[in-house]
Amino acid sequence: MTLIPARLLNGVSTLAIVCTQWGDTGKGKFVDFFAEWADIIARGTGGANAGHTIVIGGKTYVFHLVPSGILHDSAGKINVIGNGVAFDPRILIEELAILTQEGMSFNNLSIAHNARLVMPQHILMDRLRESSRDGSRIGTTGRGIGPAYVDHYARVGLTVNDMLNVDSLRRKLERNLAEKRKLLAHLDPLLIQQIMGHPHLGSGAFYHPSKFLDDDALIEQYRVYGQTLRLLIKDTDQMLRDAIGKKRVLLEGAQGILLSIDYGTYPFVTASDCSVQGLARGAGIRERHVDRTFGIVKAFYMTRVGEGPFPTEIGGDESARWCNDPLTTKDIEAKLFPNASVNSDDPFVQGIGIRRAGYEYGATTRRPRRTGWLDLPLLRYSLRYSGHDAILTKLDVLDQCEMIRICTSYRYDGPRYHIGEQQLDPGTTLRVAIPHTEVMRYCIPRYQIFSGWCRNTSDIKTFGELPTQLRELILFVAREAELNIVLLSVGPDREQIIAMETN
Ligand code: GDP
Ligand code: IMO
Ligand code: MG
């Protein structure tokens, strides 16, 4: 079993793991890894839009709401779903049933009583917005995340605790639905009915022909959820605050900094703050309580799911269109491009080759993830919100790639644009990305090209044994982005981790 190098956690009582990109960098794998060290593992952001994968001895687990420390439950580790999470009880109950089937326990799982509740009306609103053809699609996961947070800020949201008190559940729900119905009255009733028939919406069980949403059916379902989960619902904010400095706390980030509502490539982002600040707050503690943060960097390529700018996308707009087409699936890709490889000449096909080599198909939605080269301007930007301690993952994916590109800066090629005092003109060089869509869409990557190592790395256990080209590339990225790289990952398995010798 790969051991956690003790020097990484010297003097650390609270550790955070966040993603520095657009998600899916391997947070689940590393939260599971560091859960060995922790006493408490807490989620603080996002909801079932997340898909966190853990592979142990060839067996794969994917979690959406359950923290990725859950496989350590039998060792007495406490897993917490914090107040900042958009909590969908249906999905948690499904996940718990799977854990039970697999013979895994969840005796020490707690859910914040004040976490935001996701309900069918949120999933409906999410899917209605995504179905519009006015160009406002974000490519969400359709899990109701945005609308649930909107309700929270609009002060009409419900919390997990409301499931335990039917009277207040009814009162709050009526108020919440009254607003929704005003909006729904202007939309296509057939579309509403169709969406309400989706399995995530109880396959029509909550549909009401004149009111759109059936209050009684919703109240009854959420009352039952409350009964089922009652013993897990706690004051986790207090629990976490009591633990600070006394116990080892591991915070599990969801999504990635470039998807953060506050710091990401807005508006193509999720609805919570995926930075360390957001994560700490959503777990009920302060950012200053976090002693160390490891930012996960997928290298030497990166991925994005959904719409939004992606300057280094391999295959450009053609790739974006292809991946965002709901008809594109892994099987269709395999059939149409059987020979796609990491070395294909056509960039669009090469993107598919990298997707296949990295198995880049959504853990939540199964959508193909758009692939692009590692983008240092974006990385330099997101490190502002994660700090400079980093873990590089998926290094093995490009093992057979003969030529690797790394984007070291952008050339801005759009019309004059002002950002505060700064003025961008055509030809301006950007070493640090400016995540405004109006800027990103005109950023042309400048690449440095490296030859690959063309050797399998997935069994390698030490930095020194890695091929020279790969070591040089790792050090190049560390230098260019001022990264303090602490660990490397060369495969999905818990065992496929390499410690950097000096950090
Ligand atoms: P998360 O959302 O950040 O937890 O990441 P996901 O689980 O959505 O996606 C990461 C995918 O990469 C999963 O399928 C992991 O099993 C896999 N993975 C993680 N680290 C590595 C690695 O170093 N190499 C390879 N080949 N796969 C990895
Ligand atoms: P993990 O934790 C990758 C993306 C969606 C969409 C945007 C908004 O597994 O890294 P939302 O449903 O949140 O309103 O969608 O955010 N997105 C993710 N992309 N990994 C995730 O989570 C994501 N969660 C949301 O694809 O572009
Ligand atoms: Mg994921």
**Residue-wise pLDDT tens digits, 4-16:** 888 999 999 999 9
Tens of pLDDT, residues 259-296: 999 999 999 999 999 999 999 999 999 999 999 999 99
Does residue 302's CB lie within 6 angstroms of at least one atom of ligand 2?
no
Q: What is the spatial distance between Cα 274 and Cα 259, in angstroms, rounded to a whole number?
A: 7
Residue 254 has pLDDT above 80, yes or no: yes
Average pLDDT, the chain: 96
Dig out the tokens for 369 from the structure: 């993830």
Residue 493 has pLDDT above 80, yes or no: yes
Q: Which of 21, 141, 364 to mutate to test the pocket of ligand 2 (most atoms within 8 A of CB)?
A: 141
Q: What is the pLDDT of residue 2?
A: 74
Dig out the tokens for 1 from the structure: 């079993």
With 0-12 / 13-18 / 19 or more C-beta atoms within 10 angstroms meaning exposed / middle / buried, residue 181 is: middle
Residue 421 has pLDDT above 90, yes or no: yes
Residue 256 has pLDDT above 90, yes or no: yes
Ligand nearest to the CA of 457: 1
Q: Whose CA is nearest to atom 2 of ligand 1?
A: 24
Over residues 57-64, the mean pLDDT reads: 94
Q: What is the spatial distance between Cα 416 and Cα 430, in angstroms, rounded to a whole number?
A: 14
Over residues 306-311, the mean pLDDT reads: 97
Q: How far is the CA of 29 from the centre of ligand 1 (A)?
A: 7
**Any catalytic annotation for residue 459?**
no
Tens of pLDDT, residues 98-135: 999 999 999 999 999 999 999 999 999 999 999 988 87
Residue 501 has pLDDT above 80, yes or no: no
- Reported confidence tier of residue 470, pLDDT bands at 50, 70, 90: very high
Does residue 143's CB lie within 6 angstroms of at least one atom of ligand 2?
yes
Residue 503 has pLDDT above 70, yes or no: no
Residues in the chain: 503
Q: What is the pLDDT of residue 1?
A: 66
Residue 22 has pLDDT above 90, yes or no: yes
Helices marked H in 131-249: 145-153, 166-184, 189-196, 215-229, 236-243
Q: Whose CA is nearest to atom 27 of ligand 1?
A: 492
Q: What is the pLDDT of residue 399?
A: 98
Does residue 303's CB lie within 6 angstroms of at least one atom of ligand 2?
no
Residue 324 has pLDDT above 70, yes or no: yes
Q: How far is the CA of 238 from the centre of ligand 3 (A)?
A: 29
- Of 32, 52, 88, 122, which residue is the catalytic one? 52
Residue 453 has pLDDT above 70, yes or no: yes
Q: How far is the CA of 155 from the centre of ligand 2 (A)?
A: 24
Tens of pLDDT, residues 189-242: 999 999 999 999 999 999 999 999 999 999 999 999 999 999 999 999 999 999
Ligand nearest to the CA of 298: 1
Q: Whose CA is nearest to atom 1 of ligand 1?
A: 24
**DSSP 3-state of 276:** helix
Q: Whose CA is nearest to atom 3 of ligand 2?
A: 23
Q: How far is the CA of 58 from the centre of ligand 3 (A)?
A: 18
SS (H, E, C) 332-369: HHHHHCCCCCCCCCCHHHHHHHHHHHCCCECCCCCCEC
Ligand nearest to the CA of 253: 2
Does residue 363's CB lie within 6 angstroms of at least one atom of ligand 1?
yes
Over residues 408-412, the mean pLDDT reads: 98
Does residue 494's CB lie within 6 angstroms of at least one atom of ligand 1?
no
Q: How far is CA 186 from CA 86, 131, 133, 189, 204, in A?
A: 27, 15, 16, 9, 20
Q: What is the spatial distance between Cα 423 and Cα 9, in angstroms, rounded to a whole number?
A: 43
Instruction: Give the pTM.
Output: 0.97
Window from 42-56, 308-322, 359-373 with minimum mean pLDDT: 359-373
Over residues 136-145, the mean pLDDT reads: 95
Q: How far is the CA of 358 from the centre of ligand 2 (A)?
A: 18
**Any catalytic annotation for residue 24?**
yes
Q: What is the pLDDT of residue 136?
A: 83
Does residue 221's CB lie within 6 angstroms of at least one atom of ligand 1?
no
Does residue 457's CB lie within 6 angstroms of at least one atom of ligand 1?
no
Does residue 138's CB lie within 6 angstroms of at least one atom of ligand 2?
yes
Over residues 16-22, the mean pLDDT reads: 98
